[in-house]
Chains A and B, each alone.
Chain A
Amino acid sequence: MSGYEWLIGLAALVFAPLLGGFLRGIDRKLTARMQGRIGPPIWQQFYDFFKLIGKARAVTTKGSLMWVWGYLLLTMLAVYMLFAQRDLLIIFFILAFAGACLIFGAFSVRSPYSHIGAHREIMQMLSYEPILLLAAVAIFLQTGTFKVSGIFEHDGPLLLTLPLVFVAVLIALTIKLRKSPFDISASEHAHQELVRGVYTEYSGRFLALIELTHWYELVLILAFVALFWAQPLWIGVLLALGVYFLELLVDNIEARLQWSWMLSISWAAGIGFILVNIILIELVFGNVLRL
């Protein structure tokens, strides 16, 4: 890992949407099977994407179009930085900025539905943001650095010393992946509905851009999960795919929660687990910074 990180980052920018779209296709297929339907073809996401691109534009306000681009480009920046093995804290801050752009897009049009969605999206950020930051801190206690490259230089998989952090991260990622029981800001993907919170006022190519951003986000999230077993990385990839399947399963057996439940679950369980794990590190596993 020397000198070519930027190349990996750029490659990720090219291949992430393909992988993300493909995984979404699997998502739709599996979800359909779980619901006893045949489901669309695996490539349906890409067909949808190009169909949306070709639609005539319908604009409610210029502002919301601007922010969508910000959402996409900043998410791409976060993907680049993760694959180029940069600072994990900064990656999460960039991701928060990207998420805020989606919220701003929903706010910039005066529509009650997208405003409610935007407020709920804010609550989602409040729920998962501390968990992500604290997960970065817990990883730091094992690797001695906030850089992703440090995880690859670390001996042994993180999952063995950070099991509870991993569980907390799963809670945060369910929110980030917009899966039930935490899909409160907008019904998402496999639960198609007409009025979809933050996305209500988007159509055509701008909806396609949001879809594209979600593919990037999906890859980013799964890559972060894979970091918990970075050596050998193929176990990490299997881990990420396993987590993805688990998320689909939970998505299909859980009902949507209220925001207050989401907040209490993610804070009490998520932050609580991480705290316990940090104490375990101090008492049992050993804190790399004290050595």
Chain B
Amino acid sequence: MAGETLIAILILLPLATAAVGLAVKDDKLRRPFIILPSMALIAASVLLLFRVLDHGTITFTPSGTWDPIILILELALLAYFLYLGVIRKHVLVLGLAGFQLALFCLLKFAWLPSGFKAQPALHVDLLAVVMCLVISVVGSLIVMYGLNYMQNHERHLGLTATRQHIFFFFLVGFLGAMNGLVFANSLLWLFFFWEITTLCCYHLIRHDLTDEAEQNAMRALWMNLVGGVAVVGGMALTYQASGTLSMMELTGFGTVGPVLLLPLALFCLAGFTKAAQVPFQSWLLGAMVAPTPVSALLHSSTMVKAGVYLVLRLAPAYQDTYLSAVLAIFGAFVFMVTSLLAISQPVSKRVLAYSTISSLGLIICLAGINSGLAVAAAVALIIFHAVTKGVLFLVVGIVEQDIHSRNIEDMEGLTARLPVISGLAIAGMIVMLFVPFGVLFAKWAGIQAAATPFSEFYPLVVVFLAVGSAAGMVFWVRWIGRLISNVTTADGPPAEVRREPRASVPYLVVFSLVGGAVVLSVLAAPLVSWLINPAIAAMGYSPALDTAGWYLTTPFGSFSPWALFIVVALALLLPALLVKARPEEVMPVYLCGVNQPAEGPTFRSIADTPAAVETGGMYWTQAFGERSLNTWVNGAGIVLLAALFLGVIM
């Protein structure tokens, strides 16, 4: 199939599926309408990968009158945001949407000559294909997972009329918009898809229509409108300075002149709002009121990834500039503080949200370091983070529908109650946290890249990365610890073991994502040589990772993911299989008093009164709580942003 057709399918199929699905209100009928196009989308993205690997970058402008159509839809969209500001009486949304609309009209009708087109409209290189794979594969899996989840969700809420068709309209449409966003070369097209993601995000967050959902959706909307305004402003300034609105022309010729730095900084600001970087993190934290598939989609494959994609895409243009240096500090700072904030969170989705923001900060930091090694690490992190974060959100969704809580404290001893799903959760967290898995490979390469003196401030960046990486350990290790906490008695595990629907779609989705994360980690070296190195070469970087013998070798260090994986797997799996505890060897725990196993987990305490055994997680809220840190964190974030813009302007 021709590359052009595949690209058209990847953008239009989800949009068409969304539109058709709007008419399907029956649960059973919806399944084929969602599952078949999702499969097709996955297949198309894989085909596109091979196409681009074999034949190189695809650039073209689709035939037909797309530009006027997009313009009309764009204006309608901006007017709709304005309308939302009016009917919700939200001054910020109203102001930002109005400003955005006015600025866009000024740009389109006054500054750009009539009939102006940025040619070619689409530019699909390997970076775009990597993003497309993340969006189409992980995104489609999450959409399929959503089928079961939403049925349970509506049953739980006791709705009389289903609202799932609206839900899937925005969920599936999101994928098309994201694909359009990463394929766009014309900044006008990119802006159009950018605004669609904002729209989808808004509607998905408010899906349950509770007060909290409405409120958080409005917050997400205004923060993302800040990003929208920044994109329009960036476009206007880019056009004034260079007379072009083509991404390729902006990034294709090495570092841009200083006059273009301000629009680039504006595009980066837009990226920060989408990627929920400090001080915009509150919209992503608030987004967890939405049903879990939304969180999974926003955090892993869409929305926030659009933000880091834009920053990373523009990286060649601001290489070796002040902007690049500040981006590195800013990203590393966000990486550190959000990891620290996550330590104090007992709510699983908030932990996941902070860890997402932290990983995105790392990607932005790597884009700011802006060397071949750093950019390769950033691309790797985009892939691995999408897969693992997808796993963790989906797992939390399944657990939440079972135990009716998203609090980590209520997940104590979950391995005894839901062994399969908690095993998958632990696998996901280990992939997120430990060597030799992919996320850590990115951190390893990231610390190396940060230690090469790329700017005067590199010691600061390295310190932020080291502290953030240690802080990440705290909340993941504690969470795993809560899950596995468990007493075996002579009669076996005390808690009732639930039968889990292992063959259901949600479980299969989680299985395949965990499997994908592990396989990709073990095969990290071939992945680098086959996909990541060519991808960064197409962006203009010289590949810094050597993969001879399937070792990952940088100029400064090396390790072998597959060999380490074998050793680690043996060290953990062999004991799990071989160590057996005979019933007569099982003893009660030490409780500083006489145990009373007959009465459950209790012991004789002071004055012979029975006391129940309780354990709980520590969250160190005094030291790492939002209340004690948020003011400083947001203040420092604003100062860094101010420094970014002041430096760029002066």
Contacts and interface: CB of A to CB of B under 8 A. Distances in A.
Contacts of A90: 435, 444, 557, 559, 564
Interface string B586-607: 1111111000000001000000
A60 B591 CA distance: 12
Contacts of A267: 467
B485 interface: yes
Contacts of A130: 463, 466-467, 469-470
A126 B128 CA distance: 37
Contact of A89 (B448, B477, B614): B448
A290 interface: yes
Contacts of A241: none
A45 to B, nearest CB: 24
B576 interface: yes
A290 B451 CA distance: 12
A176 to B, nearest CB: 13
Interface in B396-443: 412-413, 415, 433-435, 440
Nearest to A271: B463
A33 B66 CA distance: 87
Interface residues of B, number: 68
A147 B451 CA distance: 14
B165 interface: no
Interface string A96-134: 110011011011111111110011001101100110011
B571 A73 contact: yes
B463 A134 contact: yes
Contact of A104 (B463, B484, B559, B613): B484
B484 A134 contact: no
B341 to A, nearest CB: 14
B486 A125 contact: no
A100 B473 contact: yes
Nearest to A96: B473
Given A93-B434, A112-B615, A69 B459 contact: no
Interface in A57-89: 57-63, 65-66, 68-70, 73-74, 77, 86-89
Contacts of B613: 110-112
A7 interface: no
B581 A65 contact: yes
B452 interface: yes
Given A61-B486, A90-B444, A260 B623 contact: yes
Given A60-B586, A126-B474, A275 B618 contact: no
B460 to A, nearest CB: 8
Given A73-B570, A86-B559, A96-B434, A103 B470 contact: no
A59 B485 contact: no
Nearest to A90: B559
B480 A104 contact: yes
B471 interface: yes
A217 interface: no
A144 interface: yes
Given A63-B415, A87-B444, A130-B470, 10 more contacts: A65-B575, A66-B576, A90-B564, A101-B572, A104-B481, A107-B480, A129-B473, A200-B589, A271-B466, A287-B453
Closest 6 pairs (CB-CB, A-B): A107-B481, A73-B571, A69-B575, A146-B557, A129-B470, A111-B589
14 contacts: A59-B586, A60-B588, A62-B581, A63-B415, A69-B579, A70-B571, A77-B571, A86-B558, A100-B433, A107-B484, A119-B478, A125-B473, A144-B556, A275-B463
